[in-house]
Amino acid sequence: MDFFFKPLTPAQKLKNSLLHIDSHIRSLSCPPSSKEQRKISNQLSKDGYVILHEYLSEDLLGKAQAHIKNSLEYGNFEFPVFAQSNIDKIKHKEIIDNHFLESDEHLFKMGLAFDKEDFTNLDEVVQTFKPSIFKIPFPSQSAEFSKIWLDEFILGVINCYMGLTPKLLEAYIRRNYPSEFKRTNHYWHRDLNHRSHLLKVFIFFSDCTIDNGPHEYIRGSHKDLTINGKRFFEEKEVDKIVPPDSSDRIKSIVKAGTIVIEDTRGLHRAIIPKKGYRDLGFAVFAPVPTYSILNTPCYYNISKDNYNRLSDFQKKFIPKGNILEK
């Protein structure tokens, strides 16, 4: 795979427009962006990120937090889960050196993950297996979660920034605990989901301090391609060019309810929590080439009832294959 990011040539831009003709046509029937949305979109173009402090209403935040707590306490999250307690630093050196690129299913086969049958209660599995991440699926029936992931003001910003109407391709929540081992996204990297149009929306469901794993982004690195050409970068490689005390290193030290919109083709990483945990929602937006619109990989579902409650504008962002018939 080519890890070298280059600005698109005029010919590539034209090819992209043709590939995403469907997303361009969809954008024509969207509401026009407001002055405030254009302002945020301009900031995104300049810096590569925007922080909307304490954006969620208290009511919506409270309901989402209750769902996350409930899901974790009843074991309603994705299995298998990587178990740091089972790592032998000598025996598993190759996996450690390979940044744990293997899937959790593969780690499970190697005895390095635990399964649903091993779940007793949250505190006990955290103590016993020392998990670093729990992944909670997007609740397909929840009107509240749809309101957050498909917030119309933010969708308008996304439309304005991209100049087309993309799809919400991924939706999930993660709880991160302290980790002894660095896994893929703990390293500085650029996301590869889409080379010409990509935005991620991070939704903070817990307060985030320097101790419980802020997200870090290099301001302007979606355009500045000085650090380039590798899947992952070592800390010292980045520190040499953007020193740790630089004001261009943006750490999301924010209150619960804050939303960060980010062009993650820029350099970013997840800092490992030192204590406590961090609950974070992820929404990934990118256009789907018209030719593959019918076989887009499905990473979350939305129930038919829930879909029917959405506005026409919100519906444009949901791939048809993600709507559950029942």
Choose between 86 and 196: whose C-beta lies nearer to Fe ion.
196
Choose between 87 and 283: whose C-beta lies nearer to Fe ion.
283
Nearest to 132 by CA among 81, 92, 95: 81
* Nearest approach, Cβ of residue 59 and Fe ion (Å): 30
- Token pair recorded at residue 282: 């992820």
Other Cβ atoms closer than 10 A to 303: 18
Q: Which residues in 199-221 are b (16+ Cβ under 10 Å) and which e?
A: bbbbbbbbebbeebbbbbbbbbb
Select the span of 22-30, 95-103, 185-193, 250-258 touching Fe ion (CB under 5 A). Answer: 185-193
Choose between 151 and 191: whose C-beta lies nearer to Fe ion.
191
Select the span of 64-72, 118-126, 190-198, 315-323 touching Fe ion (CB under 5 A). Answer: 190-198
Choose between 191 and 263: whose C-beta lies nearer to Fe ion.
191
Choose between 38 and 249: whose C-beta lies nearer to Fe ion.
249
* Nearest approach, Cβ of residue 128 and Fe ion (Å): 29
Choose between 39 and 195: whose C-beta lies nearer to Fe ion.
195
Long-range contacts of 2-9 (CB under 8 A, 24+ apart): 3/190, 3/192, 3/228, 3/229, 3/230, 3/231, 4/228, 4/229, 5/190, 5/195, 5/225, 5/228, 5/265, 6/225, 7/225, 8/195, 8/196
For Fe ion, the nearest residue by Cβ is: 191
The reply on whether position 262 binds Fe ion by CB under 5 A is no
Select the span of 17-25, 36-44, 183-191, 201-209 touching Fe ion (CB under 5 A). Answer: 183-191
DSSP 21-79: HHHHHHHHTSPPPPHHHHHHHHHHHHHSEEEETT-S-HHHHHHHHHHHHHHHHTT-S-S
* Nearest approach, Cβ of residue 199 and Fe ion (Å): 12
The reply on whether position 191 binds Fe ion by CB under 5 A is yes
Choose between 191 and 279: whose C-beta lies nearer to Fe ion.
191
* Nearest approach, Cβ of residue 270 and Fe ion (Å): 8
Half-sphere exposure of 133 (CA within 13 A, CB side): 23
Q: Which of residues 92-121 bind Fe ion (CB under 5 A)?
A: none
| Site size for Fe ion (CB under 5 A) | 1
The radius of gyration of the chain from alpha carbons, rounded to an integer in Å, stands at 20
* Nearest approach, Cβ of residue 73 and Fe ion (Å): 28
Select the span of 19-27, 191-199, 255-263, 279-287 touching Fe ion (CB under 5 A). Answer: 191-199
Interface residues with Fe ion (CB under 5 A) are: 191
